[in-house]
Amino acid sequence: MEHSVRLPLARRLGRRTYLTLCGAGFAFLIAPILVIVPLSFNAEPYFTFTEGMLRLDPEAWSLRWYEAILAPENGWGAALANSLLIGVAATVIATVLGTTAALGLASDAMPFRRLAMGLLLSPMVTPIIIVGVGAFFFYSSLGLAQTHLGLILAHAALGAPFVVITVTATLAGFDRTLLRAAASLGAGPFTAFRRVQLPLIAPGVASGALFAFAASFDEVVIVLFMGGLEQRTIPRQIWSGIREQISPTLLAVATFLIVFALLVLVTVEWLRRRSE
């Protein structure tokens, strides 16, 4: 409130309650994530702050859980390799097909626009268990269960809607006269797209790709139903970690994933500002 006029007591109380509630709401959102980070440096195999940690005793803090990530027998390296392979391949498919589709959907001549949009976005709201079970049945019948290819295809379908959404949003702000200008200067449709349109919508495409990658990088249910031992990804590894014997190594992995999330967030916000 910029007014320096003193508000009546009731309103001040109301305002204070409102701000307290908001503070509690924000704390609820962010505190659980922040707590993970210091706990991952615990020297003891506990999930709570030891007295030594609270006294800031250097003995009570350690990097042992980070060393545990590096031990090959724990399988985190292999899981990361799988996650990256599946994530990148799924992102490439989702981005190419999603961007192409968005170019069509953004055109006012698009036939059955609403139906196509509803169809293409449906993977975002379909309960993941149904997708996982269906994918297991279907890809098994094609011999693609327990293969990287099967997971890549299934993840690409989950990621494509994000690309469609971000690219159609970017295209809404694209000035189509630029394409006509390119055509009048002799560029064919493909050249005009590649040299004029694509550079301008690139931020939208990139942020859609990041969304698609994040969707695959965090996906566990399809991997659970369709993947075998050779396809264990990071989320799959965390899942069995929580299910079987929860170890502080998970907190160290979680800290890495939080840093990854921050990087993605900063990049997406930067891209958004560039495309505005």
Partner 1 sequence: MKLASDRAARQVRAGGLALPLVAFIFLSFLAPLGNLLTRSVHEPVVADALPETLRVLEGKWSGGLPPDAAFDAIARELPAARETRQIGPTATRVNRRESGMRSVIVKTARRVARFQSRAAAGEPWRLLLPEIDEAWERPESWQAIRAAGERFTDRHYLNAVDLDRDANGDVVRQPPERRIYVSLFLRTLVVSLGVTVLCLLIGYPLAHLIANASASTSRMLLLLVLVPFWTSLLVRTTAWIVLLQQQGAVNDLLVWMGIVPDDARLSMIYNMTGTFVAMTHVLLPFMVLPLYSVMRSIPKVHMDAAASLGANPTQAFLRVYWPQSLPGVAAGSLLVFILSIGYYITPALVGGQSGQLISNMIAHHMQTSLNWGLAAALGGVLLLAVLALYLIYDRLVGIDKLRLG
Q: Which is nearer to partner 1, 81 or 119 (CB)?
A: 119
What's the token pair of residue 49? 């702050």
Among 56, 59, 243, 244, which residue interacts with partner 1 (rule: CB under 8 A)?
A: 243
Among 6, 114, 177, 229, which residue interacts with partner 1 (rule: CB under 8 A)?
A: 114
What is d(CA 39, CA 46) in angstroms, rounded to the nearest whole number? 8
Contact between 235 and partner 1 by CB under 8 A: the answer reads yes
What's the token pair of residue 64? 């042992």
Q: Which is nearer to partner 1, 57 or 269 (CB)?
A: 269
Q: Which is nearer to partner 1, 172 or 199 (CB)?
A: 172
Per-residue binding string, partner 1, 192-211, x by CB under 8 A, is: -------------------x
What is d(CA 214, CA 235) in angstroms, rounded to the nearest whole number? 12
The answer for residues whose C-beta is within 8 angstroms of residue 99's C-beta and 6 or more apart is 163, 167, 201, 205, 208
Residue 139 in contact with residue 154, Cβ under 8 Å?
yes
Q: Nearest approach, Cβ of 128 to partner 1 (angstroms)?
A: 6
Query: Is 250 buried (19+), middle (13-18) or exposed (0-12) by CB count in 10 A?
Result: buried
Residues 10-29 that bind partner 1 (CB under 8 A): 11, 14, 18-19, 21-22, 25-26, 28-29
Residues 153-192 that bind partner 1 (CB under 8 A): 153-154, 156-157, 160, 162, 164-165, 168-169
Q: Which is nearer to partner 1, 14 or 173 (CB)?
A: 14
Q: Which is nearer to partner 1, 88 or 193 (CB)?
A: 193
User: Distance between the two ends of the chain, CA-based, in angstroms?
Assistant: 29
Contact between 123 and partner 1 by CB under 8 A: the answer reads yes
Q: Nearest approach, Cβ of 138 to partner 1 (angstroms)?
A: 4
What is d(CA 242, CA 169) in angstroms, rounded to the nearest whole number? 38
Helix/strand/coil for 246: coil
Among 68, 69, 80, 97, which residue interacts with partner 1 (rule: CB under 8 A)?
A: 97
Among 70, 77, 81, 107, which residue interacts with partner 1 (rule: CB under 8 A)?
A: 107
- The torsion angles phi and psi of 239, rounded to 5 degrees, stand at -55, -55
Q: Nearest approach, Cβ of 222 to partner 1 (angstroms)?
A: 10
What is d(CA 70, CA 74) in angstroms, rounded to the nearest whole number? 8
- Nearest 5°: the CA angle 112, 113, 116 is 85
What is d(CA 233, CA 248) in angstroms, rounded to the nearest whole number? 19
Contact between 143 and partner 1 by CB under 8 A: the answer reads no
Per-residue binding string, partner 1, 47-76, x by CB under 8 A, is: xxx---------------------------
Q: Which is nearer to partner 1, 22 or 181 (CB)?
A: 22
What is d(CA 9, CA 2) in angstroms, rounded to the nearest whole number? 17
